[in-house]
Amino acid sequence: MNNLEIPPEVTPEFTSTDETSLLVIIVDSNPSQKMLRDNPHVLTHCIDSVIAFANSHLMQKAQNKLAVMACHSKTSEFIYPGPNKPLDIRQIDGQYEVFTAVERTVKQNLAKLLVNEKSTLVTESLLAGAIAMALCFIARIQRTKAPGSRLNSRILVVTGSGDSASQYMNYMNVFFTAQKQGIVIDVCALDQHLSLLQQGCDITGGLYLKVPQLQGLLQYLLWVFLPEPPIRQKLVLPPPVKVDYRAACFCHRELIDIGYVCSVCLS
Amino acid sequence: MTTSSEDVLLQVPQVRYKKGDGTLFLMDQRLIWMVENRDTVALRKFPQKEKLKYNYKLCFIMVSRRRFILPIVDRELEEKNKLLSSNPALLQLYKDLVMTEVVSSEEFWAQHASQYTQKQKQQPQDIGVSGAFLADIKPQTDGCNGLKYNITPDIIECIFKTYPAVKKKYVENVPAKLSESQFWTKFFQSHYFHRDRKYAESKDLFTECGKIDDQEMKKDIQSGVSDPLVNITEFEDKTLDEGYGVATEKTNVNIGTVSQAMIKRFNQHSIMVLKATKKSSEQNETEVKNAPKHNGNVNEVEKADEGHVAKKQRIQSKITYDDLDTGNDNSNVSGTSLNLSKVERYLHGPMPDSSIEQLNPNEASTVLRGVLQETRQWQSRHPTSSLVSPAAAVGALGELSPGGALMRGFQEQSLAQLVPSDIENEVRNLYLALCELLSHFWKCFPPNTPNLEQKAVKMHEALHRYHTAKLKPFEDKLIRELSPLSHHLTKHLNQLLNAAYQKFSNWQKIKNR
């Protein structure tokens, strides 16, 4: 009988196989995004890629967890796990039931959300609020996890919107909260460069990627965003580009290099 | 020749005359050229009244006409050489600017080296006396129970500075009564030096020195410290007594004389050292003032006044803090109140305004319709549709592999490692030279006087010369050797140059209008 004995002085390593990885994907589903206005089929492509990516995440480890949110100009909602009771799934095509469940739930709930969209559309999406909701979800999961198990969490924001100036304060709040909690924020920008979200990635230690071509979206997602944070140190991933941290003047809303700072509110 | 009654006024070695090397002597009455102590060739006799008119330079001009070949001792050149050798930065600037003919030599010394030449005119600091100099004179044993001390003139000067009494004795006794070596032998043998302080018995040359020192000390103690804010008599050791009270240590008056003597010696030594340094600084001050006050009474009264004012100033400076007090002082002068024009900008954050549009209803409905159509297709599955075409996937992988389009960040980080150190040095020197030229160029603007205009034109030409003579060859070299880096390294330099050219051409346009 060969029993592998670990010598007593070597403490057993806590490898990443013991850690649960929680991924929250925030999909910007605002129909008035520029890329969707030009070609609505992009939405299908994005959603399919995101679902494939989510399933790959679940495939990494049995204990991995997933949540998907949809966000646009008026609301943000969890579409997986959805608000309704889980769908009854039977096996189709030999696909793993969980994957089928993910796919079906996401598409169904998102369609419902878009159908209910009636009023005027604004090109701004409430991403800061969605990130805040994701942070709350992660906090809840962390509170209710089994004692002794470890959990690393990250938020992936997939968006085609531009930077929204009015949410500056909210963004800063969620970024610093995430940094405090040790939650990594990744950003996948599909259309325009997002300097604000890039700062958030920088603060929390996440990755910011502006996808050069939409056709290979799934490939980019799988390569860059699939590894969980503890493993990322061992991989060669796109290095962070120098972030433009210049503050903007509060009265003129222009980026400046040298200026006066209020000693009370730091504006 | 050894006991000649003539004074040698100037002596110039290594002068060539009629195919031989020798020494040229300028005496009081004659000009003599001598070859190695052998022959003298009396060359010229100065008539009595004219000799005062001659300054040495004229003499040499005269002399050179008689086929002397003198080594050119240009004092200025010597100074310049010294400056260059002692300042490596200046040397580098000189090499870059003058040797490549970007700036002529006179311009260089006039403009760029001016701050260096001025530095020399300041008085160099006196080198102080090291505290342990007496201990450093290590005696060498002479074999048979004797000690040999080696003293250099430096050490002698130090001893005189610290112990003025010894200097007095030296002046009195040498060379009249004792020779130098005898004097110093006695010095080291004396109990004064060894400080056992039982000097009352021996009849030594230096016993008086000890007494003089004591007298000086007493005088100093009586005159006290002139600073009214320092209270020496209150210096005591305060230690914790029982019950955390404060106890002052009572000094035991009957301490053994040896330790008392040691303490006395230390104090004396410190006082001497302080006096020695004060003397030199006082001398400088009196030279500068050029008006030594002779009247003792006036001196004291003035000093008292000054002391009073100075004391007040010092107390004042210790109880006020400048930056905390300005609020109280300027209460009647109110600062300008802050006028915020659009307060809500401060509530929302400083992001530069980006375009947030509202879609007009037509467009909105079109978009919605398109999206909803898409969602209807989601109900049925299309398992055969591929999400990523192979070409797109491979393209994405290529960008993400090391060296790809998305992995450029690594290149920036390793730029510092990719550049070899000699190229780094060259870039640094280029920057130094260019910044020097540019600072002079930009100082000329706005050109109000004709001088400045001329200077601007000259500096502009110098910049052009610099560009062709130094920058372009460097860039070519970079392209040949380190092609990927060539543009990064010199981009900023080119930017600086282009800004200067732009300014100059604008100015020319305005001028010629």
In this predicted complex, what is the ipTM?
A: 0.73
What's B112's DSSP letter? I
Shortest distance between the Cα of B348 and any Cα of chain A, in A, equals 6
Q: What's the structural domain count of chain B?
A: 4
Please report whether residue B233 resides in a domain: no
Residue B446 sits in the same domain as residue B484: yes
User: Among the listed ranges A180-184, B83-87, B323-327, which one has the minimum average pLDDT value?
Assistant: B323-327
pLDDT score at A70: 92
d(CA A96, CA A94): 6
Cβ–Cβ below 8 Å for B367 and A48 = no
Paired tokens of A137:
């979800």
For chain B, say whether A43 makes contact (Cβ under 8 Å). yes
Domain with B113 in it: 85-120
Residue of B nearest to A245 (CA): B351
For chain B, say whether A235 makes contact (Cβ under 8 Å). no
Shortest distance between the Cα of A81 and any Cα of chain B, in A, equals 18
- pTM of the entire predicted model: 0.51
Burial call A100-115: b when 16+ CB within 10 Å, e when fewer: bbbbbbbbbbbbbbbe
Check if the beta carbon of residue A110 is closer than 8 Å to that of residue A47.
yes
Of the candidates A179, A129, A147, the residue with the CA atom closest to the CA atom of residue A26: A129
Residue of A nearest to B347 (CA): A169
3-state helix, strand, coil in chain B (%, to 5): 60, 10, 30
The model's pLDDT over B39-93, given as tens digits with 9 standing for 90+, comes to: 555 455 544 434 434 444 444 444 444 444 445 556 677 777 777 777 777 777 7
Burial call B409-448: b when 16+ CB within 10 Å, e when fewer: eeeeeeeeeebeeebeebbebbeebbebbbebbeebeeee
Please report whether residue B226 resides in a domain: no
Please report whether residue B151 resides in a domain: yes
Cβ–Cβ below 8 Å for A247 and B350 = yes
Residue of A nearest to B410 (CA): A239
Q: Which of B372, B381, B409 sits opposite A240 (nearest CB)?
A: B409
Picking from B338, B356, B363 by the largest number of A CB atoms within 10 A of its own CB, the best residue to mutate is B356
For chain A, say whether B392 makes contact (Cβ under 8 Å). yes
Hey, is B41 helix, strand or coil? strand
* B88: preceding bond cis by omega (within 30 degrees): no
* Cα–Cα distance list, B349 to A133, A141, A198, A243, B242 (Å): 21, 32, 17, 19, 63
Cβ–Cβ below 8 Å for B368 and A248 = no
What's A255's DSSP letter? B
Arithmetic mean of pLDDT, B150-158: 72
For B171, counting Cβ atoms within 10 Å of its Cβ (0-12 exposed, 13-18 middle, 19+ buried), the class is exposed
Residue of B nearest to A236 (CA): B402
d(CA B500, CA B441): 8
Q: Which amino acid is at B159?
A: I
Please report whether residue B219 resides in a domain: no
User: Among the listed ranges A90-104, A120-134, B144-158, B343-357, which one has the minimum average pLDDT value?
Assistant: B343-357
* pLDDT averaged over every residue in chain B: 67
Residue B113 sits in the same domain as residue B169: no
Picking from B355, B367, B412 by the largest number of A CB atoms within 10 A of its own CB, the best residue to mutate is B367
d(CA A171, CA A174): 5
Residue with tokens 């009244």: B49
Hey, is B33 helix, strand or coil? strand
Shortest distance between the Cα of A180 and any Cα of chain B, in A, equals 22
Shortest distance between the Cα of B508 and any Cα of chain A, in A, equals 32
Output A265 or A199, whichever has higher pLDDT: A199
Last residue of a domain, one of B148, B165, B192: B192
For chain B, say whether A200 makes contact (Cβ under 8 Å). no
d(CA B401, CA A235): 11
Q: Which residues of B touch A45 (CB under 8 A)?
A: 387
Residue B443 sits in the same domain as residue B485: yes
3-state helix, strand, coil in chain A (%, to 5): 40, 15, 45
Check if the beta carbon of residue A255 is closer than 8 Å to that of residue A244.
yes
Q: Which residues of A touch B410 (CB under 8 A)?
A: 239
The model's pLDDT over B284-305, given as tens digits with 9 standing for 90+, comes to: 544 444 333 334 344 444 555 5
Residue of A nearest to B402 (CA): A236
Question: Which of A 60-99 lie inside 8 A of B, CB atoms?
Answer: 92-93
CB pairs under 8 A between A and B: 163
Cβ-based neighbours of B470, under 8 Å, separated by 6 or more: B96, B100, B102, B430, B433
Please report whether residue B262 resides in a domain: no
Cβ–Cβ below 8 Å for B354 and A163 = yes
Picking from B385, B406, B411, B413 by the largest number of A CB atoms within 10 A of its own CB, the best residue to mutate is B406
Check if the beta carbon of residue A176 is closer than 8 Å to that of residue A197.
no
Arithmetic mean of pLDDT, A125-144: 93
**A156 backbone dihedrals φ, ψ, rounded to 5°:** -115, 125
pLDDT score at B48: 41
The crossing angle, in degrees rounded to 10, of helices B257-289 and B207-223 is 70
Please report whether residue B489 resides in a domain: yes
Output B255 or B209, whichever has higher pLDDT: B209
Residue B20 sits in the same domain as residue B89: no
Question: Which of A 119-138 lie inside 8 A of B, CB atoms?
Answer: 120-124
Q: Which of B355, B356, B368 sits opposite A117 (nearest CB)?
A: B368
pLDDT score at A59: 93
Please report whether residue B359 resides in a domain: no
Please report whether residue B403 resides in a domain: no
**A21 backbone dihedrals φ, ψ, rounded to 5°:** -115, 125
Q: Which residues of B touch A169 (CB under 8 A)?
A: 348-349
Write down all domains in chain A, each with its CATH number in brackets. Answer: 19-256 (3.40.50.410)
Element (H, E) at B118: helix B114-121
- pLDDT range class, residue B406, cuts 50, 70, 90: confident
